[in-house]
Amino acid sequence: MTEVETVTSERARPDETDLLSLHEAIAELHASQGDFRTAYEHLRTALGIARTARPQIPEQLRREFDRLRRERAQAREESLRDALTAVYNRRYLDNRLADLRGDARTPLAVALIDIDLFKSVNDTFGHLIGDQVLRRVAELLRAGVPAPGFCARYGGEEFMLVLPEVQPGTALRIAERARRRVAQHAWSEICPGLGVTISVGVSHEPVSGPEQLRMADDLLYAAKHAGRNRVAYRERGGVRVLEHCQ
C-alpha cells in the first residue's frame, strides 16, 4: 500500500458511515488544514444530529468529504517528497528504512549515489543548471527502480536507491544500469559542454542499519577513488569496482 493509499484509507468511505460520523470526519480534515472555524461548525452539526434521528447523507456532503480526503492525502504525499527533484525526501527514507529493517526475512540492498564533481557544474554553468542536473539525475535514477524499491534524495547531490526483495547480483545490475543511463544521457541538450556522471556504492550486507549505510558510504568513496563513474560493491569480504565506463 502506498503512502497516499494509507492516508485515504484512514476513514471509512462515506457510503459505509452515517451522517454523524461523516460530519466528525470532515471536521477532522478541516482541522488538519488549520480551518478550525469550519471544523467547529461541522462538530456542532454532528452534536445536533446526535440528539435527533440520523438522516441520510446529502450528496453535497459526500463530495466535500471526498475532496477533503484527497487534499489531505495529497498534502501527506507532498510532505514526503523532495521539493526540487520530486523523489522521496530524507524523512521518508529514514522512516521507510526503519520499517524494512524490521522484517529480517526481506533482503535489502541500498545504493548510495553521488553526482561526480557537482560543485564544478555549479561553478561552471551556474546554479540554475545545477538544479536542472539534480532533477534530471533523479528522473534517470527513478526510472530503473523496480517496485517496491524507491529513489530518495539523501542530501545535497547524493541520492539513494532502496532495493528490497532483491539479491546482490540484481542490486548490482540495477546500480550499473543507473550509472550507464546518467553517463550516456544527452546532457548537452541542457547546456553545451555539460557532462554528468555518478559514482555508486552498493551494500547488500546482513548488518545493522547504520552499519549498512556506513558500508555504502565507504564503497561510494572507493568508486570515486577508482576514478569516478564507477559502481563499487563488496564480494567475499573485499571491495570490487565495476570497470564499465561510458
Which listed residue (3, 24, 59, 157) is catalytic? 157
Q: Is 157 a catalytic residue?
A: yes
C-alpha cell at 51: 440528539
215: CB partners within 8 A, 6+ apart: 201, 203, 205, 207, 234
Cα 29 → chain centroid: 24
Q: Which residues are catalytic?
A: 157
